[in-house]
A and B are shown apart, each in its own frame.
Chain A
Amino acid sequence: MADGRGPETSQELEAFRNETRAWLEANCPPLMRTPMGEDDAVWGGRNWKPKHPEQKQWLDAMASRGWTAPTWPKAYGGGGLTPQENLILQDELRRIKARPALMSFGIWMFGPVLLEFGNEEQKKKYLPQIVRGEIRWCQGYSEPGAGSDLAGLQTKCEDKGDHYLINGQKVWTSYANEADWIFCLVRTDTTVKHEGISFILFDMTSPGVETRPIKLISGASPFCETFFTDVKVPKENLVGKLNGGWEIAKRLLMYERTSISAGGFGGGAGALPIEEIAKHYVGVEDGKLEDRDLRARIAAHKMYDKAFGLTVRRAQEMAKAGDNVSHMASMFKVAAATMNQEKTELIVEAMGNRALGWSGEGFTKGEILAPRAMLRAKGNSIEGGTTEVNLNVLAKRVLGLRDHQ
């Protein structure tokens, strides 16, 4: 697809699988096939210091084939894979339990919209850096007065002839303090709402940019307040048309919701299945979890989880067959948030008072992480569009229910 190639024959796909398997075998370092702790994720960027040399080695190997962004065109550093080839690649990565070579808002959100809305120069400049993990991007969307009502954003962007001048404040900017560049929604016309928004890019080291981490109830600080004071931005950094940013913003949200749902959620708890945790802390009688009520709720949760996974696969198949599945993004976001919250709560419940520690020696690392994951997961139904906003989107755009008159 990406390079205009047609569907492959099954022999070609089989050959691709064999070649991929052999290449991964040769290039994925053993350490990168072991379970990953929360602080083992690789986000790349100018300031990244690998914890282990294997992380850099694995990233460079994957990036050399464009496989950090497998379906992007080769011309921009991507892998140029067809969707079917990508499914095989992901299959093979799962098979050897490979860690993600690179976590990236650039790959999940910004790149896809730049491919669609960016000009040739922008694509050539930004996309290869993303593929190689050289530049880490953050997302300048929410503001103190513009959360669910995102289009109410006020960050001002003025045309100063040879440059733009940006003043204002963003909030909930994920990892702004660690990011190199920002893709940012700004107001370029104050007389209209949606039609006065533009989509612009700038370097976070520009004079006038300041970030302050926000401490969450979970104890972590994955988000920042971000302040812009007279930040000068070159004119060529505007993506799409002036005042045409809302369309890009919405498309990006769709990618964001999809990527969040596909497992990018903060607060995802440990690698052990819930029932194993519960067996350990609750106990087993006649082969069944001793607490029968908890057992039934864990089963219900696992079934929902399975139904969700099957639906993601169905959406992928539908997309491959050319069906429009854009309506599913909001659905996945709602369902994934519910699921992750349910899961982290069940784990805390199963662990009993072992999950009520905050720090110190009295608890294991896993026990300390459980309540923090539960607390962090409360944000899942808020970030990337609240559950309520996504239900509005479903009701109006999918079910065709009308606005109140």
Chain B
Amino acid sequence: MFTLSEEHEMLRESARAFVQEKMPTAHLRAVREAKPEGFDRALWAEMAQLGWTGILIPEEHGGSALGYVGMGLVLEECGRTLAPSPLHSTALVGASAIALGGTAAQKNEWLPKIAAGELIVALAIDESAHHAPEKIKLEVKNGQLTGMKKYVADGHVADLLIVAAREGGVVKHFLVPANADGVTITQLKTLDSRGAADIAFKGAKAEPLGGPELVDQVLDRARIGLAAEMLGQASQAFETTSEYLKTRTQFGQLIGSFQALQHRAAKMFVELELTRSCVLAALSALDENRNDIAELASLAKARAGETLHLVSNEMVQMHGGIGMTDAADPGLYLKRARVAEALYGSASYHRDRYAALNNF
């Protein structure tokens, strides 16, 4: 369950090399200043050439079918440098939703375009200040969508929207091209500089995608994939902070020699190791199509959220005054952390769900 294949090791190596060279945190700063879309389309094309957009797509539709463990490794590496791109929403959420729930025609139409990097997909799920898929109100009547979606990740750059909506009382997914009539997309400037969108639907034509069971399947995939990205963020935030503890001196001592800091660093290490196990277990549960995916998804997302929250706070604190400056990286990690913590359900949401799944 936890041992990587040689193929996966190679994928991780190449992802790490690419991200470290082309998308270090300096890249995020450059995007923040110069790219209103929140990512760089030239690098997105390179990611597609590397095959990342096709990791979850079957070979007959132009993908490599390397599975969720493979996808998770790439997302984790992207998380390390906060590399901004619509990879999660397109290659994981979009591709898996269509591959799992799509008709033959839908797969033929959309999957090759996703694999080729020609199509950006976004999942429109939340309608209020909080993630609450069970309370979705957006309605489909006579094949037409009406209502509002909030804070849709990558919604401002998407070509195709997957919209969760209620039809006859049951929540299902629907496909809506972003440029369809009756769709109004308002870009949001967000804390993490990646952007998102509020989207209004007024009688937009909606094409059903899969049945009601697809909703949770897709959400759990989104949660697990995001947890993998968050694991990368937290790991790097921790390692950067450890390095700082080994170089910064005060009172004539390396600050990492102070026991007050050593113990907090050791506790973060323990949290990271536990979180890593949860994320890997959840990714492999997806590949093995096990029956405990929902429980592991909530476990992974909640643990990743709590760990990233802790580590991002400690990153600022242990860097001292430097950590408060815009020129240093801790602020970038802190900002992305808060966004990722909230997307697809906070730790609090997933604790509640975990309890419900365990009947208490």
Interface residues of chain A, those whose CB is within 8 Å of chain B, are 275-276, 278-279, 284, 287-289, 295-296, 298-300, 302-304, 306-308, 310-311, 313-314, 317-318, 321, 328, 331, 334-335, 388, 391-392, 394-396, 398-405
- B2, B262, B266, B359: most-surrounded residue (chain A CB, <10 A): B266
The bracket for how many chain B residues form the interface is 35 or more
Leading 10 A-B pairs by shortest Cβ distance: A395-B262, A275-B360, A394-B266, A310-B277, A299-B355, A307-B274, A311-B277, A314-B2, A391-B266, A401-B256
**A-B contacts, CB under 8 A, total:** 127
Cβ–Cβ contact A308 & B360, under 8 A: no
**Complex A-B: 18 CB contacts under 8 Å:** A275-B359, A288-B356, A295-B355, A296-B348, A308-B274, A311-B274, A331-B270, A334-B266, A334-B270, A394-B269, A395-B266, A399-B266, A400-B242, A401-B246, A401-B254, A403-B257, A404-B253, A405-B253
Interface bits B267-294 vs A (CB < 8 Å: 1, else 0): 1011001111110110000000000000
Assess A307 versus B352: contact at CB under 8 Å? Given A278-B360, A399-B266: no
Instruction: For the complex, give the distance between the alpha carbons of A296 and B351 in Å.
Output: 6
Instruction: For the complex, give the distance between the alpha carbons of A405 and B348 in Å.
Output: 43
Cβ–Cβ contact A402 & B257, under 8 A: yes
Interface bits B325-360 vs A (CB < 8 Å: 1, else 0): 000000000000000000000001001101110111
Tell me whether chain B's interface is mostly helix, strand or loop, or mixed. helix
Across the interface, name the chain B residue whose C-beta is closest to A311: B277
- A402: B residues at CB distance < 8 A: 246, 254, 256-257
Instruction: For the complex, give the distance between the alpha carbons of A334 and B268 in Å.
Output: 12
Smallest CB separation, A314 vs chain B (Å) = 4
- A400: B residues at CB distance < 8 A: 242, 246
Cβ–Cβ contact B2 & A318, under 8 A: yes
Assess A310 versus B278: contact at CB under 8 Å? Given A302-B358, A303-B303, A404-B257: yes
Cβ–Cβ contact A391 & B351, under 8 A: no
Smallest CB separation, B116 vs chain A (Å) = 36
Instruction: For the complex, give the distance between the alpha carbons of A313 and B1 in Å.
Output: 9
Indicate if B3 sits at the interface (CB-CB under 8 A).
yes
| From B275, B278, B355, contact of A298 by CB (8 A) | B355
Instruction: For the complex, give the distance between the alpha carbons of A284 and B263 in Å.
Output: 40
Smallest CB separation, B342 vs chain A (Å) = 18
Instruction: For the complex, give the distance between the alpha carbons of A84 and B258 in Å.
Output: 43
- B258: A residues at CB distance < 8 A: 404
Cβ–Cβ contact B351 & A307, under 8 A: no
Instruction: For the complex, give the distance between the alpha carbons of A388 and B263 in Å.
Output: 8
- A335: B residues at CB distance < 8 A: 270, 274
Instruction: For the complex, give the distance between the alpha carbons of A400 and B239 in Å.
Output: 11
Smallest CB separation, A39 vs chain B (Å) = 30
Cβ–Cβ contact A313 & B2, under 8 A: yes
Cβ–Cβ contact A317 & B2, under 8 A: yes
Assess A321 versus B3: contact at CB under 8 Å? Given A299-B354, A303-B299, A311-B273: yes
Within 8 A of A (CB), among B97-119: none
- A298: B residues at CB distance < 8 A: 355, 360
Cβ–Cβ contact A314 & B277, under 8 A: yes
Smallest CB separation, A329 vs chain B (Å) = 12
Across the interface, name the chain A residue whose C-beta is closest to B281: A310
Instruction: For the complex, give the distance between the alpha carbons of A298 and B359 in Å.
Output: 12
Indicate if B265 sits at the interface (CB-CB under 8 A).
yes
Cβ–Cβ contact A299 & B270, under 8 A: no
Across the interface, name the chain B residue whose C-beta is closest to A318: B2
Within 8 A of A (CB), among B101-150: none
Instruction: For the complex, give the distance between the alpha carbons of A401 and B238 in Å.
Output: 13
- B252: A residues at CB distance < 8 A: 405
Across the interface, name the chain B residue whose C-beta is closest to A297: B351
Assess A399 versus B274: contact at CB under 8 Å? Given A302-B354, A303-B303: no
Instruction: For the complex, give the distance between the alpha carbons of A58 and B303 in Å.
Output: 41
Within 8 A of A (CB), among B1-50: 1-3
Indicate if B74 sits at the interface (CB-CB under 8 A).
no
Smallest CB separation, B261 vs chain A (Å) = 8
- A395: B residues at CB distance < 8 A: 259, 262-263, 265-266
Assess A401 versus B262: contact at CB under 8 Å? Given A328-B273, A335-B270: yes
Assess A296 versus B266: contact at CB under 8 Å? Given A310-B278, A328-B273, A403-B257: no
Cβ–Cβ contact A394 & B355, under 8 A: no
Indicate if B302 sits at the interface (CB-CB under 8 A).
yes
- B164: A residues at CB distance < 8 A: none
Instruction: For the complex, give the distance between the alpha carbons of A396 and B252 in Å.
Output: 19
Cβ–Cβ contact B266 & A307, under 8 A: no
